[in-house]
Amino acid sequence: MPTVDIHRRTLSNGLRVVVCPDHGAPTVTVNVTYRVGSHDEWPARTGLAHLFEHLMFDNTSTGLEKQYDLYCTKAGGSNNAYTTFDHTTYFINLPSHQVELGFWLEAERMRDFMITDHALTTQKSVVIEEIKQNVENQPYGRWRTATEEAAYTPDCHYHWEVYGSSEHVASVSMDDARTFYEKYYRPSNAALVVAGDVTPDVAFDMAERHFGHIVSPSAAIERTSYDDAWRVFGAHSVVPDAVPMPAVFISFHMPGIFDTASYSAEIAAMVLGSGRTSPLYKHLVNDLRIASSAMAFFDRRANTSLLTIYAHANEESVTADQLAAAVMEAIQGYTCTEEDFEKASNRIRTALAAEIQRNEGVADSVASYTVFFDDPGLVNTVLDNYAAQTRESVQAMIDRCRSIDDGIRVDVVPNA
């Protein structure tokens, strides 16, 4: 795989600027990632980080409100954003001759708090509607909220899902929004990554001109704390919902991103539940014929992660208890083979290699390594980290999933 060309500079205000030139196509991605997510919210204002992602599209000087899409479309580009537990990312894809537009638009968002009462009211309504569509009214959509609440004590800021609570979002005040912005939306808490058809000198010059004058507050950035003691084991909750069949979700605590064992945990999820040849699918779908699907995935986070296994019943007569028992049978009866390990590891590495062939993928990966590790060059060693895992290290992660007493079980069942 070709090495990503990395050029880095830190502005006087603490903004880390990384340029990854690639002249293979006349396009460029401008990515600004802030190290702030739902883990940085306070318990009475869950959903604030995601709400603020929406608000940042209105955080512009007079006359530019709601113009991001218009400017990007006219320039032949596109833009989007997303929020996670630990970071929030904004990115713009543009023809390379329009790259300065991306710098200007992102600097406009960062330079000051300019949210209006109208924008706050509007975006709260938009986010609340998203929560209804994607969580409250989505079949099986409440499982993640139930899992977060069961997996961590209320002291832990992973105790709630990224979307948060509709009631909390509705109660966000202008003072709440301003406080959140001033704490986290500062140059010293962000990375600006430019990937694609641009030279480092040009990009650094644009970064200095558009971002260099933005002031970072002198106060230290507040980080919420985390303690492994806040993890809960052996929890079980039942969520009645408007669903046709029961489904079971069983999650297990795994290492966070700063622990290299997280790579083995991700491979373990792929081994257990990816594809029709996985042990979960073969046991629940093919052999027992009680499930229409049975899969696993890895939810990587900064401090601690979750490996989640889920199965959907294929008939009304199948109970959540049957599904859960079958899931545990599949795991307990399985030992990772060298062939399964190699296949899963190769699939992950192939997907990652494909991702960093794209400007958007390069920018996203480099931004993440910069804000969390202060090392954009890790993008060039991530495949080696996966390759360094062994069948034994993956088996060790699977062994963490062998007892339901170590898991967090959520049953989503049809309303009575």
pLDDT, tens digit (0-9, with 9 covering 90-100), for 156-189: 999 999 999 999 999 999 999 999 999 999 999 9
How many CB atoms are located within 10 Å of the residue 91 CB? 23
E strand or H helix at 243, and its extent? none
Distance CA 28, CA 400 (A): 43
If 0-12 CB within 10 Å is exposed, 13-18 middle and 19+ buried, where does residue 338 land? exposed
How many CB atoms are located within 10 Å of the residue 170 CB? 13
Phi, psi at residue 245, to the nearest 5°? -135, 155
* pLDDT for the residue numbered 21: 98
Domains of the chain in sequence order: 7-211 (3.30.830.10), 233-414 (3.30.830.10)
Give the tens place of pLDDT for each residue, 97-142.
Answer: 999 999 999 998 898 888 889 889 999 999 999 999 999 999 999 9
Cβ proximity of 120 and 48 under 8 Å: no
The pair of three-digit structure tokens given for residue 209, joined into one six-digit string = 């001109």
E-only strand ranges, 184-279: 190-196, 235-241, 247-255
* pLDDT for the residue numbered 69: 80
pTM value is 0.95
Closest-CA residue to 35 (of 188, 142, 179, 161)? 188
Length of the chain: 416
How many CB atoms are located within 10 Å of the residue 359 CB? 27
Share of the chain above pLDDT 90, in %: 91
